[in-house]
Amino acid sequence: MLTAVALAFLAFFLLLPLAAVFAQAFEKGVGHYLATIREPNALAAIELTLLTVAIVVPANVAFGIAAAWAIAKFRFPGKSVLTTVIDLPFAVSPVIAGLVYVLVFGAQGWFGPWLIAHNLKVIFAVPGIVLATAFVTCPFVARELIPLMQAQGTDEESTAVTLGANGWQTFWRVTLPNIKWGLFYGVILCNARAMGEFGAVSVVSGHIRGETNTMPLHVEILYNEYDIAGAFAVASLLALLALATLVLKSIVEWRQAAVQ
C-alpha cells in the first residue's frame, strides 16, 4: 500500500512533468524543435553552458579533493571553520550569492573601479557566470569525499609512507584509487548543478542574448516571449542531461556497492 502511494507520488510529481517537457517540446513538430535548438542564440547558450561546466567542474574537483584530503587526513587549527565554509553555498540562497558577486565585482562594487580601469569585465560577462556557478557548486565534490575519506582513515597512507612512497605516490596510488567512485559521483552531481544553475547566474549574467545567456536563462527568455515550444525544446536538453546523470549515478552507485 505504502509502496503504491510512493509510486503514485513519483509518477505524478516526477514522471509526469518530465513527460510534459518532451510533449511540449515537440508540440509544434520536430522541425520547430530542431530550428529552436539550431538558432544562433540557443547555440551560444549551449556553448556558454558547456564552457562554464568545463571550467567549474575541474576547478571544483581540484578544490574538493584538496579540501577533503586536508579535512579528513590531517589535524590543523581552523578545520571546523573550513568544514562550515564548504557548506555555506548550501545555506545561502543562490540569488544572494549572485548579488554578493555584483556587490564585489560590479561597476559600483568594491573592485568595480579597478576592474573598469583595467578594462576587465566580471559582472554581465563570462567570468561572473563562472564565478557564480563555482560558488554554488563548490560543496558537491568535497561533501561527497569528506565522509568517505574519514571512514577510510589514514592507515593506508601511513603504510605507504613507511614503505617509502612520497606524497604524490601516496596520493595517486593509494588515496585516489580508494575514492575514485565517490569522486565520480561528486563530479556527476556537480556537473548537473553547474549546467542547471539559474538563480546566481541570472543575477550576474545581465541576460545579453548570444553572449551571457546560459541554457536555463535562455529557457526563461523563450518562455517569457511566449515561445512555449521553444522554451521546452531547450529545456528538454537539460532534462536529457538529468536523465543521463541519473543513469550514470546509478551505475556509479552500483559499482561502489560492488567494491565494498
Name the minimum Å distance from CB 152 to another protein: 9
What are the distances in angstroms from CA 212 to CA 99, 138, 224, 255? 16, 21, 17, 38
Taken in order 170, 171, 177, 181, is the CA torsion positive or negative? positive
Nearest approach in angstroms of CB 159 to another protein is 5
**118 residue type, one letter:** H
For residue 130, the minimal CB distance to another protein (Å) is: 34
Residues 77 and 45: their CA atoms lie apart, in Å, by: 43
CB of 176 to another protein, least distance (A): 10
Residue whose C-alpha cell reads 540569488 in the numeric block: 95
What is the nearest approach in angstroms of another protein to the Cβ of residue 86?
A: 24
| 73 forms part of the interface with another protein (CB under 8 A) | no
Considering only 34-42, 172-180, 184-192, 226-234, which stretch makes contact with another protein by CB under 8 A?
Answer: 172-180
At 36, list the grid cell. Answer: 529552436
Nearer to another protein, 161 or 238 (CB): 161
Binder to another protein among 84, 93, 150, 169 (CB under 8 A)? 169
Q: 46 vs 179, which CB is nearer to another protein?
A: 179
Return the number of the residue (36 or 170) whose C-beta is nearest another protein. Answer: 170
DSSP assignment of 141-180: HHHHHHHHHHHH-SHHHHHHHHTT--HHHHIIIIIHHHHH
Which cell numbers in the block locate residue 254? Answer: 552500483
Least Å from the CB of residue 243 to another protein = 30
Look up residue 79 and give its amino acid.
Answer: K
Can residue 174 be called a binding residue for another protein (CB under 8 A)? yes
**Which of positions 139-168 make contact with another protein (CB under 8 A)?**
155-156, 158-166
Q: Is 78 in the site for another protein (CB under 8 A)?
A: no
- Closest CB 166 distance from another protein, rounded Å: 7
Binding mask 19-48 for another protein (x = CB under 8 A): ------------------------------
d(CA 194, CA 198): 9
Could you say which of 81, 177, 226, 257 contacts another protein (CB under 8 A)?
177
Buried b / exposed e over 156-188, threshold 16 CB at 10 Å, is: ebeebeeeebeeeebeeebbeebbebbbbbbbb
Residues in the site for another protein, rule: CB under 8 A? 155-156, 158-166, 169, 173-174, 177-178, 259
